[in-house]
């Protein structure tokens, strides 16, 4: 009898073994972020707060670069380099972010990252050494991408549609960036530029405390080792684009190819990328994958992102006009970026309805580039010293709508139908291409042409100058007027060339297939052979169905 009870007990244990394994798995792993007792609305609120704190973080903030230059006495180019370094750090993290995500517990990782970001922000707010700020900006970009990926998955599961997720996420992030840039300028004016870094550091510490209380201490999935990460490839990736960033930042100041430093940096960037590409062919688990760049949507998406960079690069030309000609101070100039927020919000709302209705993406992308073209046309006709502040509303609305719609739609199209492994292995390059290379290339080009056009304009105006028009009494006023007219002429020419290019971009968008087949053979056959083709096709389908029914009936009998 005892033997029967013992055997029955052991059999019950065997039956319960699968339930024990499931329970153990639930105890060890949790694909969410928060503990079970945290209400869903509170979880969403914490995610939004984390995004609002983490996404605007950077080594520098474009709004207060002028204050940093005046306080430290360093060149503006150093802080432009630091601004690019944040994006490069984000791109370097992307290929390994999923492995890092699965290696550590969620709460431990997020809290530690927030504390490190707080420390780096404090360092940037207390140092005057550009090299420290540049290195800190690079690490900030690398760390904040680890936090951002933690927030992607819950939001994507909540929205269940990748297009709607991009619509909400990019609209929120772009709006938060504009608001943070404005307050960076305002706080720098009221106090000093260091205070905004200190405030960002305090925000990170507060969020670290909140995450420690509300997040769970479990792994996301099975723990994976970190020794598979190829740190040499990461170093080559960083060196490639940091040398490129040096070229884009210091090119004008060093007179481009007339400087040995620019030539050496260009050669170093090329060699680093060559070594990076060669190394990927020898690794069992490569850091980067170039396979997706053979796909049509990725190639055309990169072209569209390059055109987007052309329009975003006009910010430098716009700042020359607003500050150099109209005489705006830094706070008034920062308000221009805030004017883009209504356009950003409208683009997000339109995108949500567009993806919900599952409409073709071509016309939405067309509307984005058309808005950017409208902005360029308005600025072309607005290059006058009498341009009023209220006249900025329409062009900045169009620029905001174009930026939001193109960030959403072009990114969606570029990464469409890609496998997760291939996408993660190459998204770092695409991210750096979109946010750094495309914008940096056109910003450098516009800066060079703007300077050359000014010199040419001054030479043309010098024909009408002589001792009768330039006397000792009116010389200062006339020289200032000449300089302003030269700036206006140079800006007008630049926006004119951008406008002409913009019409070509719209033609390219209208003629691109966006994943649809340009030529369908079955439709052509029907057109040539008439209804007989359709009749034969229906007869074959009918015979096939009858055969399947016959086989099914036979097997049933």
- Give the mean model confidence (pLDDT) for residues 534-556: 48
Residue with tokens 């809290």: 111
Tell me the C-alpha distance between 58 and 38, whole Å: 30
What are the Cα distances from residue 396, in Å, to 392, 404, 488?
6, 12, 19
Chain-centroid distance of CA 58 in Å reads 13
Residue 248 has pLDDT above 60, yes or no: yes
pTM reported for the whole predicted model: 0.83
Give 285-309 pLDDT, tens digit per residue: 888 878 778 888 888 889 999 999 9
- Please, which pLDDT band fits residue 3 given cuts at 50, 70 and 90? very low
**CA dist., res. 464 & res. 484, Å (int):** 16
| Range from 56-70, 274-288, 389-403, 503-517 that averages highest in pLDDT | 389-403
The radius of gyration computed from the CA coordinates of the chain, to the nearest angstrom, equals 29
Choose among 333, 453, 402: nearest CA to 67. Answer: 333
Q: Please report, for the chain, how many H helices and E strands are present, in that order.
A: 22, 0
pLDDT single digits (tens) 351-384:
999 988 888 888 999 999 999 999 999 999 988 8
Domains and CATH numbers, the chain: 30-230 (1.20.1250.20), 291-461+480-513 (1.20.1250.20)
Who contacts 445 (Cβ-Cβ below 8 Å, separation ≥6)?
313
- 211 burial (CB, 10 Å; 0-12 / 13-18 / 19+) is buried
Task: Provide mean pLDDT across the span 503-531.
Answer: 65
pLDDT band, very low/low/confident/very high, at 557 (cuts 50, 70, 90)? very low
43-55 burial, b at 16+ Cβ within 10 Å, e below that, comes to beebbeebbbbbb
How far does Cα 390 stand from its chain's mean position? 30
What is the total residue count of the chain? 557
Count of CB atoms within 10 A of residue 1's CB? 5
Q: For the chain, what is the mean pLDDT? A: 82
**Residue 94 to residue 240: CA distance in whole angstroms:** 16
The mean pLDDT of 402-415, rounded to a whole number, is 90
CB 472 within 8 A of CB 277: no
Q: Report yes or no: 428 and 94 within 8 Å, Cβ to Cβ.
A: yes
Q: Considering only residues 28 and 188, tell me which one the structure prediction assigns the higher pLDDT.
A: 188
């Amino acid at each position: 009898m005892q033997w029967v009870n013992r055997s029955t007990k052991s059999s019950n244990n065997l039956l319960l073994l699968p339930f024990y394994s499931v329970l153990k798995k639930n105890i060890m792993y949790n694909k969410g972020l928060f503990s079970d007792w945290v209400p869903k609305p509170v979880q969403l609120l914490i995610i939004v707060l984390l995004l609002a704190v983490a996404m605007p973080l950077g080594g520098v903030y474009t709004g207060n670069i002028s204050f940093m230059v005046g306080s430290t006495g360093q060149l503006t180019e150093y802080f432009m380099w630091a601004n690019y370094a944040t994006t490069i750090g984000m791109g370097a993290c992307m290929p390994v972010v999923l492995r890092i995500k699965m290696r550590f517990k969620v709460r431990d990782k997020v809290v530690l990252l927030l504390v490190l970001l707080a420390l780096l922000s404090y360092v940037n707010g207390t140092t005057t050494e550009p090299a420290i700020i540049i290195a800190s900006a690079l690490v900030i970009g690398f760390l904040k991408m680890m936090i951002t990926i933690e927030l992607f998955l819950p939001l994507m599961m909540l929205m269940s549609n990748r297009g709607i997720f991009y619509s909400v996420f990019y609209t929120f992030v772009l709006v938060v960036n504009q608001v943070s840039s404005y307050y960076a300028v305002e706080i720098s004016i009221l106090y000093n530029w260091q205070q905004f870094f200190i405030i960002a550091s305090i925000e990170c510490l507060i969020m670290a405390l909140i995450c420690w209380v509300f997040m769970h201490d479990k792994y996301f999935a099975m723990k994976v080792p970190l020794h598979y990460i190829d740190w040499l490839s990461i170093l080559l990736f960083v060196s490639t684009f940091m040398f490129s960033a040096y070229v884009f930042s210091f090119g004008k100041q060093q007179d481009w190819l007339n400087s040995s430093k620019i030539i050496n940096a260009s050669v170093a960037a090329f060699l680093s990328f060559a070594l990076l590409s060669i190394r990927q062919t020898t690794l069992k688990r490569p850091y980067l994958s170039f396979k997706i760049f053979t796909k049509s949507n990725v190639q055309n998406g990169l072209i569209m992102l390059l055109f987007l960079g052309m329009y975003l690069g006009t910010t430098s030309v716009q700042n020359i006009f607003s500050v150099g000609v109209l005489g705006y101070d830094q706070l008034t100039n920062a308000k221009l970026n805030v004017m883009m927020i209504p356009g950003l919000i409208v683009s997000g709302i339109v995108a949500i309805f567009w993806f919900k209705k599952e409409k073709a993406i071509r016309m939405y992308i067309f509307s984005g580039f058309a808005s950017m073209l409208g902005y360029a046309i308005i600025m072309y006709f607005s290059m006058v010293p009498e341009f009023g502040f209220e006249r900025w509303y329409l062009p900045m609305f169009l620029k905001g709508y174009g930026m939001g719609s193109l960030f959403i739609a072009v990114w969606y199209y570029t990464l469409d139908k890609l496998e997760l492994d291939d996408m993660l292995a190459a998204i770092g390059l695409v991210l750096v291409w979109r946010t750094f290379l495309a914008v940096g290339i056109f910003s450098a080009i516009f800066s060079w042409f703007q300077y050359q056009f000014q010199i040419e304009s001054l030479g043309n105006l010098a024909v009408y100058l002589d001792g009768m028009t330039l006397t000792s009494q009116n010389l200062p006023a006339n020289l200032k007027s000449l300089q302003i007219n030269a700036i206006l002429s140079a800006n007008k020419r630049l926006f004119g060339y951008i406008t002409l290019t913009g019409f070509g971009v719209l033609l390219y968008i209208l003629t691109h297939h966006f994943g649809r087949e340009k030529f369908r053979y079955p439709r052509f056959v029907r057109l040539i052979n008439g209804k007989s083709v359709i009749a034969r096709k229906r007869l074959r389908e009918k015979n096939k169905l009858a055969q399947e029914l016959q086989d099914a009936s036979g097997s049933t009998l």
